Amino acid sequence: MSAAEAKETEQPGAAPRALDALRHTNFRRYYLATLTNVVGSMMTPVALAFAVLHVSNRASSLGLVMAAEMGANVLCVMLGGVVADRMNRRVLLQGTRVVNVVVLSIFALTLFTDTATVPLLALLGAATGAASAFAMPASMGIVQQIVPTSLLQQANALMSLTRNGTQLIGPVLGALLVAAGGPAWSFVFDAGLTVVSVLLLLGVRLPPAEASGESMLRDLRAGWSEFSSRTWLWVVVAAASLANAIQVGAMAVLGPTIAKNDPRLGIPGWGWALAAESAGMLLMGLALLRVRITRPLRFGVLGISTVAVPLYFLGADPRPQLLVPLFVISGAGMELFNAGWMLAMMERIPPKVFSRVTSYDMLGSYMALPAGTLIFGWLAAVYSPQQVLQIAGPMFGVVCLATLLARDVRSMGRMTAPAAADGIPQTTP
């Protein structure tokens, strides 16, 4: 990215416009690669859930597969953060997507040949989770490398719009495809577009990785020091560990189970509910292109707390006409939190340790996810999905709102001289 290009959107005193981030060549290329990748991947979670339920119509089986994927992610995420800080993040991201192509192809083949088993699906899920553990720290670090700090909110909003815009129709199409012909074709579609995204990433140029000269263990310790020294960071991550376990157990295990067995909702109705959540995220993303967040974590926590409401009613009254508007609201709240959280991270964490700090964030936030899927699958067998959700929803809200007791969380504003300064290394187009 040239200095001239950077100056196009960083004139002193000029307020960033909604699409200014796309004027940066590297970000534009990365955006197109991401768009291509997520178009296919948005249908895959629905396909995976119903692939497992097709093989074994039990919530515990779905919980096992989800736990395998998330467990592998948790086990590998620290290594992923260190590697992403040590090597070219674009190359690492391409490698993880090649792994996903192979895994998706095997998913499709076993379903087409009717040879899929729950243990095999769990093994493939674990491979996907391990690849994601390397991909996520790398992908988040790339945005910080190629976009000036003054445009981070707009860039993150555009990336979210890409994911949420495709997810708006992805769950519906995925659910309809599963209902019409089975889940295998969703995996084929995703694999093809993932190949295209790998090729598009070739055009993204990043500055050379900064070699620390230290061992991987010392790099991990340096990342921990950066993480633990920020109260707002570990407080929110600690709460997210429990809140995410509740949400994934409810949405990934109990939601599909209710959809398959409760005629009030049904598989298409569940697809519409998921799409409504994406619509809410999309609408909030559009707003964030224009509206500046002044208190990233305070407003973010209030937003994410709204998820408690649709979780409760998914168990109490799972009619689509009730769930759809509730999921729109909670989706907007989730996007507000995601935007605020990424802003806080990117404005305050130095680029050279960003992936390591992100990996600690991911480890803390996701470490309880495997337990969440297993516990919710077990609870659904002992009690009922409906009863579990009517307790889980309010619990989610309490856990989220409790973080506002920390002053650093409720009072954090925007930085005028961020740690991730605009003077980061730039590349030429």
Residue of higher predicted confidence among 358 and 396: 396
pLDDT in the model for residue 41: 79
State yes or no: pLDDT of 8 exceeds 70. no
Q: By C-alpha distance, which of 256, 254, 240, 255 is closest to 368?
A: 240
Distance CA 337, CA 341 (A): 6
pLDDT band at 231 (very low <50, low <70, confident <90, very high): very high
pLDDT in the model for residue 213: 65
State yes or no: pLDDT of 395 exceeds 80. yes
State yes or no: pLDDT of 5 exceeds 60. no
pLDDT in the model for residue 180: 73
State yes or no: pLDDT of 10 exceeds 50. no
The per-residue pLDDT of the chain, averaged, comes to 84
Do residues 219 and 359 make contact, with C-beta atoms less than 8 angstroms apart?
no
pLDDT in the model for residue 116: 85
Q: What is the pTM of this model?
A: 0.74
Average pLDDT value for residue range 353-378: 84
Do residues 183 and 48 make contact, with C-beta atoms less than 8 angstroms apart?
yes
State yes or no: pLDDT of 134 exceeds 50. yes
Average pLDDT value for residue range 357-362: 87
Average pLDDT value for residue range 417-422: 42
Chain segment 21-35, per-residue pLDDT in tens:
888 888 999 999 998
In CATH, which superfamily holds the domain spanning 21-203+215-411? MFS general substrate transporter like domains (1.20.1250.20)
Annotated domain spans of the chain:
21-203+215-411
pLDDT band at 53 (very low <50, low <70, confident <90, very high): confident
Residue of higher predicted confidence among 378 and 209: 378
How far, rounded to the nearest angstrom, does the alpha carbon of residue 179 sit from its chain's CA centroid? 26
pLDDT band at 322 (very low <50, low <70, confident <90, very high): very high
Name the one residue in this structure whose structure tokens are 């998706």.
Answer: 104
Chain segment 164-178, per-residue pLDDT in tens:
777 677 767 777 777
For residue 281, what is the enclosing H or E element?
helix 266-288
State yes or no: pLDDT of 219 exceeds 60. yes
pLDDT band at 18 (very low <50, low <70, confident <90, very high): low
DSSP 51-111: HHHHH---HHHHHHHHHHHHHHHHHHHHHHHHHHHHS-HHHHHHHHHHHHHHHHHHHHHHH
Chain segment 99-111, per-residue pLDDT in tens:
999 999 999 899 8
pLDDT in the model for residue 232: 95
pLDDT in the model for residue 321: 93
Instruction: Give the rounded percent of residues in the chain with a pLDDT score beyond 90.
Output: 31
Residues comprising the chain, all counted? 429
Average pLDDT value for residue range 309-327: 94
- Biggest alpha carbon–alpha carbon distance for the chain: 64
